[in-house]
Amino acid sequence: HFTYWRRDSAARALFEDPLNLNDLSGFYLTGITLAIARSGIDNLQRLLAHLREASCAIIFDPNYRPTLWDDGDQAREIIRKILPLCDLVLPTLEDEQQLWGIDDVKDCVAFYRDLGVGEVVVKAPDLTAHVWTPTVQVSRPAARVAPLDTTGAGDAFNAGYLSVRLGEGDIDAALEAAQALSARVVQHRGAILPA
Listed in order, strand segments (DSSP E) in the chain are 26-30, 57-61, 88-89, 119-123, 128-132, 137-141
Query: What is the distance between the alpha carbons of residues 172 and 52, in angstroms, rounded to a whole number?
Result: 25
- Say what the alpha-carbon torsion angle 89, 121, 67, 183 is, to the nearest 10 degrees: -130
104 is catalytic: no
- Measure CA 24 to chain center: 18
**Catalytic hit among 23, 71, 104, 155:** 155
Q: Cβ(27)–Cβ(14) under 8 Å?
A: no
Q: Which amino acid is at 22?
A: N
Residues tagged active-site:
155
